[in-house]
């Protein structure tokens, strides 16, 4: 009887472990960077399909906050309309919540960090650094054309806001890209051509990491 009870409780404990502690693997984090309209979101969908990442778009998380009429919603809406950057702790908290809710350990963090302050804040709060940083390098005139044709009803997809976002990108986001370049983590993608052509530059980067993880076990 005791043995039966023991095996039963052990079974429950093992099941519970699977439910409560699914995060045994260390996370594999990719930051996806590039100017507005450079194709980050589009390529993230393909990376998810091919390599099974969880896609966390910082902009989508912020827009969800606006839609849910949360306390920060009005502030976030104004910041996005102005093409400015939402305070780091707000964005990092949203990303943290999504990472905790996910049962995946491979994350694509799309459109973040956009400033050095964002980057430092993520490191301090989440306590990890990215394994890979992708930079979708696209000429400004192509980015403007794509954003103006995006047709998702976004409040920031107008010429006035795009100009501000491009200035913010140059001044605040390029330093983040340079930081990761110096760290040897940056993979620059030439973000012109068809979606498929661009993905053929992205694919080998993740394919190499897949081989690595198989070798390590």
Picked from Mg ion, ligand UDP, ligand ADP, none, the partner binding residue 162 (CB below 5 to 8 A depending on kind) is: none
Q: Which two tokens stand for residue 36?
A: 């507005």
8 A C-beta contact, residue 106 and residue 52:
yes
Among 114, 121, 189, 199, binds ligand UDP (CB under 6 A): 114
Burial of 116 (0-12, 13-18, 19+ CB in 10 A): middle
DSSP 26: P
| 59, 119, 199, 206: which one binds ligand UDP (CB under 6 A) | 59
CB of residue 34 vs Mg ion: minimum separation in angstroms?
Answer: 9
Binder of ligand ADP out of 31, 40, 53, 134 (CB under 6 A): 40
Residue 154 assigned ligand-binding role? yes
Residue 102, CA distances (Å) to 21, 22, 95 in order: 12, 9, 11
Does the footprint of ligand ADP cover residue 37 (CB under 6 A)?
A: yes
Q: How many CB atoms lie within 10 A of CB 81?
A: 15
With binding defined as CB under 6 A, does residue 62 bind ligand UDP? yes
Half-sphere exposure for 69 (CA within 13 Å, toward CB): 0
Site string for ligand ADP, 144-163 (x = CB under 6 A): --x--xx-------------
Q: What residues make contact with ligand UDP under the rule CB under 6 A? A: 36-37, 40-41, 58-59, 62, 79-80, 83-86, 91, 111-112, 114, 118, 156, 165
């Amino acid at each position: 009887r005791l043995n039966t009870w023991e095996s039963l409780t052990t079974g429950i404990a093992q099941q519970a472990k699977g439910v409560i502690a699914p995060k045994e693997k260390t996370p594999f984090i990719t930051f996806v960077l590039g100017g507005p309209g450079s194709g980050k979101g589009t390529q993230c969908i393909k990376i998810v399909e091919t390599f099974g990442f969880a896609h966390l778009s910082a902009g989508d998380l912020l827009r969800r906050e606006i839609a849910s009429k949360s306390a920060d919603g009005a502030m976030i809406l104004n910041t996005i309309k102005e093409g400015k950057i939402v305070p780091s702790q707000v964005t990092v908290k949203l990303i943290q919540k999504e990472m905790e809710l996910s049962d995946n350990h491979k994350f694509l963090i799309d459109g973040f960090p956009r400033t050095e302050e964002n980057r430092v804040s993520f490191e301090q709060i989440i306590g990890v650094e990215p394994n890979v940083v992708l930079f979708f390098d696209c000429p400004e005139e192509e980015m403007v054309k794509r954003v103006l044709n995006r047709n998702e009803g976004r409040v920031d997809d107008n010429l006035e806001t795009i100009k501000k976002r491009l200035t913010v990108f140059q001044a605040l986001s390029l330093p983040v890209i340079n930081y990761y370049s110096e760290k040897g983590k940056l993979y620059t993608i030439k973000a012109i051509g068809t979606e498929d052509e661009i993905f053929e530059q992205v694919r080998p980067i993740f394919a190499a990491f897949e081989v690595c993880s198989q070798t390590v076990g």
